[in-house]
Amino acid sequence: MCMINKKTSIIIVIATILVLGLAILAINLGKDKDNKLKNSNNGTNIQDQLNKGDQDQLSKGDSETKGTEKSGDNLGEGNLNEDNNEENNNNEENNKENNNSDGNEQANNNESSGKRKIEPVKARALYLSGSSAGKSQVIDKVIKLAKTTELNAVVIDVKEAGVVNYKSDVPEVRDNGLYVEYYDPVSLIQKLHDNNIYVIGRIVCFLDNGLGTKRADLAIKQTNGAPWKEGRLGVWVNPYYEEVRKYNIDIAKEAVEKGFDEIQFDYVRFPSGTGKKVDYGSNIPAKSEIIGEFLRTAKKELHDERGVFVSADVFGIICLDKNTKNTIGQDLETVGLDIDYICPMVYPSHYANASTDHYSGNGVGQNINGILFTAPDLEPYKVIYNTLLVAKDRLSKVNGYNAKVRPYLQSFTASYLPKGYYKNYGAEEIRQQIKAVYDAGYEEWILWNSGNIYPDGAFEKK
């Protein structure tokens, strides 16, 4: 009897162990399945972390190019960033994932062919950097301005300082880590569209330290073989190379898919001041022909095939000087033959003054429409009015000129000029420039300030 009880006890123990073992195995199998599901769901997040590491490295490597500017600007009133001076993107709304791909009605206002139908607007715009565009408080201020003033459009950096300003899937951009995630373009553009704001994407083309550094074979070369650099702004890439032109158009096409209404090409030119230090080769097309070919291709692939407008920023001096087609490749009579807008940067501070001991002076001043301006920055209305009159007269003689003129105006104080040759630019000086645009017979304009600082009163209230 005792032996039977011992055998029974042993069987019970073994059975219990087997049951527990099977239970533990089932639990572990369940956990393993859950972990696989979690790892699958977290794949995007892991890739985001890897990309963030690439961006940090890029930011350190290209720190010298972060401040690419059209001009030297001073701080003033009306800073759209005044509530947040942090460099990092703190915009929770613009950075959250956009999981509703069908919700962006205006950004995807496409016909079955993929071509969008966008109504043109008479743009009264301001410029925003990618960093500013990624801050919700900045965008909210812009929206408030649009609701209460004449402001109806914004220019936002797509590519600047050699990097795309949002996560890009253009292969050359992605593979070389040439992007920073300042903002989510889809949700940002949707928010602006919801408030009836026209959105222009600015692409800095051929001054591209990112591509020029990663792909040294595409850089403009000096006669000694070194890349051509423009100070702290970095390397210029060569517009003669089809790969360089295609690179910028591919970025533009992706921007169109994100919802931008217009693509604006800046630095769509050759560098100035190269002289005989650069040899582009022999038996090559004229510089202006290459710029024209680039813009013609952009018009075909962006406007004709995708329905968005195309514009180009040009030096204000091309309105007065016909030799710029040979130096920088921008020719007033041809640069706007195919595209929708040209945007001459007619900043009064950028014309020659009469100083003799500063790079901005030539000892005489600037002749504009038969008037000699010894200190152009002091007379914003007259400088812009007469510049645009000259441009208007020249363009009236060109058959089939397509582009409208939409000038960039100066919303900064050029304190880098010699004393006595500049003045503080506030709302009054901006309004004078806008009046000059209207009096010259044009209807659109963009305010430029690299720090996105625009004075109270710059925009006329509704």
Query: Does residue 32 carry a pLDDT above 90?
Result: no
Q: What is the pLDDT of residue 270?
A: 98
β-bridge mates for residue 233, sequence order: none
* Alpha carbons 170 and 193: distance in angstroms, whole number: 25
Which range is least confidently modeled, 20-24, 28-32, 145-149, 227-231?
28-32
Domains of the chain, first to last: 69-109+117-448 (3.20.20.80)
On the question of pLDDT at 409 being above 50, the answer is yes
Q: Which amino acid is at 391?
A: A
| Residue 226 CB partners (closer than 8 Å, separation 6+) | none
For range 151-169, the mean pLDDT: 98
DSSP letters, 157-176, are EEEETTEESS----HHHHHT
Q: How far apart are the first and last CA of the chain?
A: 105
CB 262 within 8 A of CB 201: yes
SS3 annotation, 22-80 = HHHHHHHHHHHHHHHHHHHHCHHHHHHHHHHHHHHHHHHHCHHHCCCCCCCCCCCCCEC
Q: With contact defined as beta carbons under 8 Å apart, do 295 and 310 qualify?
A: yes
pLDDT band at 50 (very low <50, low <70, confident <90, very high): very low
pLDDT of residue 104: 39
Q: What is the pLDDT of residues 106-130, one digit of tens each?
A: 444 444 457 899 999 999 999 999 9
* Residues 203 and 255: beta-carbon distance below 8 Å: yes
User: Which residue type, as a one-letter code, is found at position 333?
Assistant: E
Question: Of 8-22, 143-157, 182-196, 266-280, which range is least confident?
Answer: 8-22
What pLDDT does 78 receive? Answer: 53
| Mean pLDDT across 291-306 | 98
Mean pLDDT of the chain: 83
Q: What is the percent of the chain where pLDDT is above 90?
A: 74
Instruction: Place 80 in a pLDDT band, splitting at 50, 70 and 90.
Output: confident
Q: Does residue 90 carry a pLDDT above 50?
A: no
pLDDT higher than threshold 80 for residue 46: no
Per-residue confidence (pLDDT) for residue 114, from 0 to 100: 76
Q: What pLDDT, in 10s, does the model give residues 210-224? A: 999 999 999 999 999
Res 99: pLDDT: 35
Q: Is the pLDDT of residue 96 over 80?
A: no
Model confidence band, residue 79 (pLDDT cutoffs 50, 70, 90): low
